[in-house]
Structure 1
Amino acid sequence: MSFRLLPTTSSLCMVILLPILWIGQKGLAQPPLEDEFFEKRIRPILVERCYECHSGDARRLEGSLRLDHGSFYPSGGDSGAAVDGENPSESLFLQAIRYEGYEMPPSGKLPAAEIDDLTKWVLAGAPWPEEPIPQSKKEIATFDLASRKDSHWAWSPIVSRPLPEMVKAWGPQSPIDVWIHEGLRSKDLAPVGPASREILIRRLHWDLLGIPPTDQELARWGEEPSEDWYEQMLDALLANPQFGVRFARHWMDLVRYAQSRGHEFDEDIPGAEHYRDYLVRAWNADLPYSDLVREHVAGDLQEHPRRHPTKRWNESILATGFWFLGEWVHSPVDTRKDETDRFDNMVDVFSKSFLGMTVACARCHDHKFDAISNEDYYAMYGYLRSSHYRLVRFETDEAEKKIQKELEHTRNQYRGRIESILNQWIPTLDESKRGELVQSMVSSKQGPSPLPSHDPRVRFDAATLPPESFRTNGPAFGLHVQPAGWYSLRLHPQTPNRVRASSFPSIAFDPFWLRQKLVLDRMNTQNRYAQVDQAGGTFLTPSFLLESDRLAFWVRGSFRVFTAVDSHRLIAGPLHGETVFESKAEKESGWRWVLGPNLSRYRNKRVHLEFSAIGSDGFELAQVVSGPVPEGARPAWDADRIEESFVRLQKGSDASIGNQSEDERKLDAWVIAELLDRWSETQSDSTAAAFREEWQRAVESWSEAEDALAKKAPWESRVAMAMQDGSGQNDFLLIRGNPDKPAEEVPRRFLEALGGKETVRNDIHGSGRLELAEQMLAPENPLVARVIANRLWHHLIGRGIVATTDDFGVQGKAPTHPELLDELAISLRERDWSLKSLIRSICLSNTYRQRTASGDDSPVDPSNEYLAFAHVKKLQGEAVRDGLFLVSGQLDNQLEGGTVRVHLNDFLTGRGRPNQSGPMDGRGRRSLYLEVRRNFLNPMLTAFDMPTPFSSMGRRNVSNVPAQALTMLNDPMIHALAERWADRMLKKDLSDRQRVVEMLRDARGREPSDGEVTRSLAFIEDAGGRSDQASAEIAPSASQRREAWKDFAHVLLNSKELLFCF
């Protein structure tokens, strides 16, 4: 279509067009369009295709974007300007209608002719006739963070309030009871009174241990004459090791604990069980919650990590494994999209678990309801981009550091002895011999050399690496980089009486640590990254921008390098295999350039490299540059300079480096290293004959000293997932959550509503997670203490003061007793964050010890939110299973001891199905120790509402579905337990009545009534199981009797007392 220009002069055109052009619009390449074209060709498309979602008449305004007036296009909506006045061709509006990233309208792409008309219109500046802005049915809500914070209770400071007047008729009251009774009084309700001793014994065992009391425990506490019997029982249960098992499982719901990755092949998560065992120990040790938070957020950064009390391994670092328990995807096409999905899950789990806030809801825009901005969300990304996954040798890290320090001290001592021998030898060199050595050194420098550190192609240079950027996983690369002007000496790993010298500033793998072994049951067998010997022997470079298709490495020895791109590590499919690269050197080869793999797929992404050694010949890394390999010979020093170094060394009192210039120190270190290499390799030289014997004694003594250290070193260690600090990096705000649409960089910081913007620091070299943990625990933050106090209340009482335990936001439930919630939070802080102390306080309250209600629910409080009586709690799946095993006498209460593989029945099929099945009964272990595989979850536990491990689940679903009853009736494991219980009871020298009484007492936790015993005996008799009253002629067979008692045991295993806590 051709457009007719207005028949006026150019000045008149500008006067006419001013009302319909945007103020400040730049000159446009396209001619202005007439109103007629807009009204006939543009407005109809907008009205028909866009206004339903993007106008003042829209029932719900999508993306905060209106398109029904020209003034809205420059400002746009959540994703930014709809039309770019500077570059109209790059406008989001055009990208959306072309389906280039955004896809609008979502119902289907516009016809080509309509796209052409809209494109012409936008390229002309999107002119709009002068007209009033249409009134909107609904104003666009503005995000006012301060107003949202001030108007919602959760952000308010924790306040200690005076207790209201007590009601004497309700007896002695703790502060907990006072606030509960105040709520009851406001509703004209009264508490129902205490539960019986039998009920309290059973309730406390279920709540604190996750198993019912044994017959012996029932007798002990049921007959205890002391007035403080309850307090004694409570303290005994808090000290019971099974307490940690119970509360570790509660916490594992929050961190989506699993031992496989899910997705298609359900890859193993190596060492996940060590995080589980860490939790059990932490809860049993009553680790202060403040320390639990610090360890989860930054346990790897603790200056003095918490150690196991007897085995001395690093406990603190194990907590950081929770970040990596999520689902991982193998071979994603878009690694950045995959990373943002993983980060989203990590932010979601972190914020719900510790803050009770749905921060992940701000991924695409400011939170719709809470005082959480889009920037808050992406500020968290920076902490995650600055931290890396690793497998850590947690059992031996402290001992390894000690050995490494002793090793360096030993080497420095023998370095002095070797220098002394060299010092005596150098003056004996005649001019001819010295000339030969000089020429051979010059020749050795004729090959390729590293680039100058200032060369723009250099991405990593050991010579300029700041000390705070030296990051290793384990001791194998030493404690620091070898500085310029220094040379190192090490025993040759394979040849006796030889040393290896190096003067390059380098990161060097120490062959001393080749003896290290990992203790790991299973690994990601299909994951190529698992080939990398990470634990104990990895060096990490700082992050850098990949600006070339390839990298080149200045190295000595054989190595493997992993290019960490977008933190993707599950390399088990057709993509991204090039990120794992290895190069094997010929034996005794020197320094060389190695060209890495083709990384063009990842160009312009930030990456870091993880190096590990291959073989036993040692490995050194000096430089990484953007490819290709640097060409040409660059001799660092000529013969004259080397000769000058000899003169200096001959004149010196010893062979050590003196106070020369930096360049002279580098040269002298290199000359000494070259001499030592030649000395070690040519000991038959006649010039050195006089010193050969002393050299051999020194080297032999040195070797013996290292052998003695090797006998002290701990070579075997289990490994666990953990975080490792990397280069401090901020991330970008992603428009509408789209990783292809980065906007401005967002500094790493805490939530703005909790003072995050005031605490931004730019002087932190690493992630800043340690500072984040302290900000979370600051007295000004009301969320951390409130959230955990509410969680404990929820687990013990059956309903949180805030019922939505993971959401304290506007969409969550308001607290039923806000004063009590603050009372609990203050109590927790004042008791040094002791979780057991707070649990004890709750359990000692009259509120906890009430009986459950009988009769109709109160019309005033039908859901019992105000706690006039105790809630009947449906037992969690793990408690149901463990209770069945305990009652039937099959429970193994062992702590730790590994994981029992999942039992694979005929219905658990699909990709990634394990090759081996675990035993049906899980070896009698507690449910905590059964393997949790995302794609092959335990059917019984799933039927009883164990959450699928994909995000935080602080409050489990509570269902009563046919699958549960059918499981209890038909599951082969339940039948096996009934059979074993019956067999065990039949072996006892008891009458049938005694046997029935004992079984009823075991199952129901109380003395049975006469009626229950009579009915039970009748049931067994009808089933053909009675023998004590039968005549010889009609006595049942052994098989009949066994089957009858098995049926009776099966009935008891279906008792309500084994499914509910009363």
Structure 2
Amino acid sequence: MRTLFLLAVVMQLPAAEVEALLRAKCGDCHNAKTMASGFSIETLERVIAGGKKHGRAVVGGDPAGSVLLQMVRGELAPKMPMGRSLEPAEIATIEAWVKSLPPERATAKQQWKWPYTKPVQAELPVVRNQTWGRNAVDRFILAKLEQNGIAPAAEASPRTLARRLYLDLIGVPPTPAEVEEFLKTPYEQVVDKLLADPRYGERWGRHWLDVARYGETSGLEGDGAIGNAWRYRDWVIDAFNSNMPYDRFVTLQLAGGDEHSKTRNNYQPDVQGYVPTGFLRVAPWDRSNLVAADVRQNYLAEVTGTVGSVFLGLSVGCARCHDHKYDPIPTKDYYRLQSFFQASEARGGITVPYRDPDFAAKAAAKVKEYEERLNSGPEKKELDAFEKQLLTKLIAARIERAKKNAEFTKADLRLELRLPVEKRKVRGIFTEAEVREYMDRLEDAERTLDADEQQALDKVEAPMLQKLRKAYATVDPGPRFEALTQDDVRREAMAEYSGKSIFTADEKARYGQLAGDLAVYRRRLERWKPEVLAIGNVPGPPTGPEIAPTHVLLRGDYRQPGEAVEAGFPIAFGGDGGPAKLETDRYRQFVTRGRRLTLAKWIASKDNPQTARVWVNRLWQQHFGNGIVKTTSDFGVNGERPTHPELLDWLAVAFMDSNWDTKAMQKMLVTSATYRQSAENAGALKADPENRLFSKYNRRRLEAEAIRDSILSVSGRLNPERGGPSVFPPLPSDLADAARYGRTGDLMWEPNEKDADGRRRSVYIFQRRSLPLPMMVAFDSFAFSESCDRRSSTTTPLQALAMMNGYLVQEESEELAKRIAKEAGSKREDQIRRLFEVVLQRPPKPAELDRFASYTGGLDGLGRILMNSNEFLYVE
């Protein structure tokens, strides 16, 4: 008996030490209030239970199988405690404690299987409260709430719901008339109306563009424009508005232009299919002075990783260099997946006619307008005349300068040889055979910059230069400058000199302005042409070689190819490790086609367990603030566990059974009682502090686009024009230099075709990766270089400055004041009432009316105050 007592005491000693150790080292982040990742050190029982990400953290008697020890040792990322390390003796104390615990039967780590199992619809849960709930969504939510002793929040007020629904579905608040209509119309009818509104596609297309890492420039150094990426943006918006079935939405983005005819030979894909493949091309990609194989591999890696996270909700990119450390994705599977893109090539300038005849006519008119402007417009005529004037000055200045320096160089030789043939014959210095040979050598040397070509040029050039110097003793050297052209004028006018230029500062400025105007017209012309940025297929036999095999790259290094693999599906999803059966045409004439189509059909299949889950979860996140799986692009071991897996599976099956109908799914979500809850639920604060059980509506700040669009909407100046090339809202004057393209100095952020273009919806703003609109950046909007499944929502002083002093708010508050004065008359109380109705979609409270009536400033100041309120910036 005494022996057992002593053993119990000995076992308690390391437990007490461990408890004190964890409180001291981990308590800041993992206490009862913080509980990062759901892991708490408040009690040893909580320590053993672990957190949301990895589950059970301690396996009795098995230190090697215990997540806690794996993390403090650095065997499992991230190493804990964050930013520091435990001493070896401290780790030994924890290990001794784990060893002292009773051994458990199942010490092997349980594999996270849910993402790889096909979703099935469970029976709707039984709930006690039979009066709450409008559809199946509510049964699952209420069941979980009742299990935790929580009552759902009360329904939000009708005006709150009106604002919530409008901002959620179309991205702008309702007008006072729309609020009144909402109050009198059945809720479901309003939902149908908003889902049919063309602004719906602009709102929800923007969400997808974040996931698709949409941008219109290359990022990286220089950050130049990459082509007409806006065609892809408009396709996405139109796809949402037309309610394109999601399986087709996926297939076209992955496999546009890759299809076959099963009966017809020489079948050419629908050229319209190239537009949606912008998804595979809009990421940053630099093809400059880098190793070609490295650039190619980086492109393939980016596409493979993005497809995995966007459509499958898994971090497959982690398997590029080694087997995935957490999810069942071996490196071989990563390269088998990548092989589906092995026959793809990035293309620009593919002509794809506009589908809409009205827009096609408008674009054709624009192209004609800018061609005429560039060829014979007033700017072109003025520049030509000015260049001739400067050319005369340049020739005279060079002649004068040459008189002071009689040493003749290679530059003088080349000027002499650039003279017209008749002029050279009269001067008689060189024969035409000498000129032709020299020009051939010069072209080769300038084209290759190789040493041997330069040496060949030197052999010809040296004696010719001697001959020139001798001839200039009797032949006037001055006329050689007549060979100068307007190209030389451009170089002189645009060059930056530390010393004195031939042209004055005013002349250079005027030249830059005239040339810049024409450069803008050239870019506008290119943007209006029916060309797209897309993905196509490399030519294969018989006109080209076989497709290069895909190799497993050792440690992801393109210089270390290993085993060759063929395109195939991951074994985690039921693949057998063998090659996939590729889509081919009847006669196998187009052997490079069908790979992307094969992958797309597998991803968009009802047999794929993840595609519907991932998309429904993304919809849920946008409507409710958090996904059922909070990490919407990572359903794997390192992602968050689903709060309501049965509900997500039920919705995924319903979604597929509805023919992948996105709008129908959204209607189910926004008509649920769960969605219509108030943002307040005091009774749930303790049991559901993070609102993971959806015991209330998640109050959240609007995204930057919705804030800007709302400002323009309430002022009455939002330009509703849809589609077409991107626009350029005004930039602050201190960003003028940043607005230029780094390599040429041309304007990248340019004037709009008309002033109203600067007030179009934010989805149409030019997406330059290195220069987003400052007001948008303040509210966490960027042209993303990687897929973004969830925007940040920061709080910074720049947001207050943008809303109080920014150009947009200053200007639109003045326009808002004009609108209110026109609609409400001159009486201040009537103006205040109307101002609240327009900006906040509700009448003022008596105290607010009294307070605003005492304000001595202008009506624009009152409007600015309301636009700075949380009630305007947040949706609840």
The TM-score with structure 1 as length reference comes to 0.53
Alignment of 1:455-466 (within 5 A): none
2:668 to 813, 816, 841: 841
1:743 to 536, 546, 562: 562
Instruction: Kindly indicate whether residue 330 of structure 2 is the aligned counterpart of residue 373 of structure 1.
Output: yes
Runs of 5+ consecutive residues of structure 2 not aligned to the other structure? 1-69, 78-97, 100-107, 263-268, 357-363, 372-443, 452-527, 541-546, 585-590
Report the alpha carbon displacement of residue 851 of structure 1 after superposing the two structures with TM. 1.0
Aligned counterpart, 1:350: 307
In structure 2, the CA distance between the partners of 1:731 and 1:598, relative to structure 1 (3 Å rule), is farther
Is the CA contact 1:264–1:912 (under 8 Å) kept in the aligned structure 2? no
Aligned counterpart, 1:780: 607
Alignment of 1:398-477 (within 5 A): none
Write the distance in 2 (CA, Å) between the matches of 1:1018 and 1:370. 63
Match of 2:121, SS state, is coil
Is the CA contact 2:314–2:636 (under 8 Å) kept in the aligned structure 1? yes
Report the alpha carbon displacement of residue 1016 of structure 1 after superposing the two structures with TM. 1.0
Aligned counterpart, 2:868: 1054
1:691-710 C-alpha deviation (Å, 9 max, x unpaired): xxxxxxxxxxxxxxxxxxxx
Is the CA contact 1:193–1:851 (under 8 Å) kept in the aligned structure 2? yes
Write the distance in 2 (CA, Å) between the matches of 1:921 and 1:360. 43
Aligned counterpart, 2:472: none
In structure 2, the CA distance between the partners of 1:735 and 1:921, relative to structure 1 (3 Å rule), is farther
Write the distance in 2 (CA, Å) between the matches of 1:972 and 1:845. 40
Is the CA contact 2:256–2:275 (under 8 Å) kept in the aligned structure 1? yes
Write the distance in 1 (CA, Å) between the matches of 2:355 and 2:783. 37
2:123 to 148, 162, 172: 162
In structure 2, the CA distance between the partners of 1:174 and 1:960, relative to structure 1 (3 Å rule), is same
2:534 to 713, 722, 742: 722
Instruction: Kindly indicate whether residue 781 of structure 2 is the aligned counterpart of residue 940 of structure 1.
Output: no
1:760 to 556, 580, 599: 580
Is the CA contact 1:754–1:780 (under 8 Å) kept in the aligned structure 2? no
1:803 to 610, 630, 655: 630
Instruction: Kindly indicate whether residue 833 of structure 2 is the aligned counterpart of residue 997 of structure 1.
Output: yes
Aligned counterpart, 1:198: 159
Aligned counterpart, 1:359: 316
In structure 2, the CA distance between the partners of 1:763 and 1:213, relative to structure 1 (3 Å rule), is closer
Alignment of 1:526-925 (within 5 A): 718-726=530-538, 727=540, 728-756=547-575, 757-761=577-581, 765-767=591-593, 768-855=595-682, 858-901=685-728, 903-908=730-735, 909-910=737-738, 912=741, 915=747, 916-918=749-751, 923-925=758-760
Write the distance in 2 (CA, Å) between the matches of 1:520 and 1:921. 19
In structure 2, the CA distance between the partners of 1:296 and 1:148, relative to structure 1 (3 Å rule), is farther
Residue 874 of structure 2 aligns with an amino acid whose one-letter code is F
Match of 2:666, SS state, is helix
Is the CA contact 1:321–1:721 (under 8 Å) kept in the aligned structure 2? yes
Is the CA contact 2:234–2:724 (under 8 Å) kept in the aligned structure 1? no
Residue 836 of structure 1 aligns with an amino acid whose one-letter code is K
Is the CA contact 1:894–1:925 (under 8 Å) kept in the aligned structure 2? yes
Residue 301 of structure 2 aligns with an amino acid whose one-letter code is D
Instruction: Kindly indicate whether residue 763 of structure 2 is the aligned counterpart of residue 928 of structure 1.
Output: yes
1:594-615 C-alpha deviation (Å, 9 max, x unpaired): 9xx98999xxxxxxxxxxxxxx
Is the CA contact 1:801–1:817 (under 8 Å) kept in the aligned structure 2? yes
Is the CA contact 2:674–2:697 (under 8 Å) kept in the aligned structure 1? yes
1:792-820 C-alpha deviation (Å, 9 max, x unpaired): 00001111000001111110001000000
Aligned counterpart, 2:392: none
1:706-727 C-alpha deviation (Å, 9 max, x unpaired): xxxxxxxxxx960111221224
Write the distance in 1 (CA, Å) between the matches of 2:802 and 2:715. 17
2:848 to 1000, 1012, 1018: 1012
In structure 2, the CA distance between the partners of 1:857 and 1:182, relative to structure 1 (3 Å rule), is closer
Write the distance in 2 (CA, Å) between the matches of 1:520 and 1:179. 59
1:504-543 C-alpha deviation (Å, 9 max, x unpaired): xxxxxxxxxxx9x989999xxxxxxxxxxxxxxxxxxxxx
Write the distance in 1 (CA, Å) between the matches of 2:348 and 2:831. 53
Is the CA contact 1:154–1:809 (under 8 Å) kept in the aligned structure 2? yes
Match of 2:854, SS state, is helix
Residue 209 of structure 2 aligns with an amino acid whose one-letter code is M
Residue 917 of structure 1 aligns with an amino acid whose one-letter code is E
Is the CA contact 1:921–1:973 (under 8 Å) kept in the aligned structure 2? no
Residue 724 of structure 1 aligns with an amino acid whose one-letter code is G
Is the CA contact 1:922–1:930 (under 8 Å) kept in the aligned structure 2? no
1:461-502 C-alpha deviation (Å, 9 max, x unpaired): xxxxxxxxxxxxxxxxxxxxxxxxxxxxxxxxxxxxxxxxxx
Write the distance in 2 (CA, Å) between the matches of 1:520 and 1:719. 18
Runs of 5+ consecutive residues of structure 1 not aligned to the other structure? 1-55, 64-136, 139-146, 306-311, 400-514, 523-593, 602-715, 1024-1043
Write the distance in 1 (CA, Å) between the matches of 2:782 and 2:211. 10
In structure 2, the CA distance between the partners of 1:730 and 1:990, relative to structure 1 (3 Å rule), is farther
2:198 to 217, 228, 241: 241
Write the distance in 2 (CA, Å) between the matches of 1:787 and 1:520. 46
Aligned counterpart, 1:221: 182
The TM-score with structure 2 as length reference comes to 0.63
Is the CA contact 1:150–1:156 (under 8 Å) kept in the aligned structure 2? no
Write the distance in 1 (CA, Å) between the matches of 2:110 and 2:281. 31
Report the alpha carbon displacement of residue 972 of structure 1 after superposing the two structures with TM. 1.5
Report the alpha carbon displacement of residue 858 of structure 1 after superposing the two structures with TM. 1.8
Report the alpha carbon displacement of residue 958 of structure 1 after superposing the two structures with TM. 1.6
Q: Name which structure has the greater RCO, CA cutoff 8 Å, separation 6+.
A: 2
Write the distance in 1 (CA, Å) between the matches of 2:75 and 2:115. 28
Write the distance in 2 (CA, Å) between the matches of 1:150 and 1:304. 43
Match of 2:812, SS state, is helix
Instruction: Kindly indicate whether residue 283 of structure 2 is the aligned counterpart of residue 322 of structure 1.
Output: no
Instruction: Kindly indicate whether residue 297 of structure 2 is the aligned counterpart of residue 340 of structure 1.
Output: yes
Report the alpha carbon displacement of residue 970 of structure 1 after superposing the two structures with TM. 1.7
Write the distance in 1 (CA, Å) between the matches of 2:780 and 2:592. 41
Write the distance in 1 (CA, Å) between the matches of 2:272 and 2:605. 23
Match of 2:348, SS state, is strand
Report the alpha carbon displacement of residue 303 of structure 1 after superposing the two structures with TM. 4.8
Match of 2:567, SS state, is coil
Match of 1:1015, SS state, is helix
Aligned counterpart, 1:11: none
Aligned counterpart, 1:130: none
Write the distance in 1 (CA, Å) between the matches of 2:571 and 2:216. 35
Is the CA contact 1:1003–1:1057 (under 8 Å) kept in the aligned structure 2? no
In structure 2, the CA distance between the partners of 1:237 and 1:272, relative to structure 1 (3 Å rule), is same
1:352-389 C-alpha deviation (Å, 9 max, x unpaired): 11111111111111111111111122223323331112
Instruction: Kindly indicate whether residue 253 of structure 2 is the aligned counterpart of residue 296 of structure 1.
Output: yes
Report the alpha carbon displacement of residue 62 of structure 1 after superposing the two structures with TM. 12
Structure whose residues are more often helix by fraction: 2
Residue 877 of structure 1 aligns with an amino acid whose one-letter code is A
Alignment of 1:102-141 (within 5 A): none
In structure 2, the CA distance between the partners of 1:340 and 1:149, relative to structure 1 (3 Å rule), is farther
> Percent identity between the aligned chains?
31
Is the CA contact 1:1004–1:1055 (under 8 Å) kept in the aligned structure 2? no
Match of 2:551, SS state, is strand
Residue 912 of structure 1 aligns with an amino acid whose one-letter code is Y
Write the distance in 2 (CA, Å) between the matches of 1:148 and 1:952. 31
Figure out how many residues of one structure are paired with residues of the other and give that number.
594
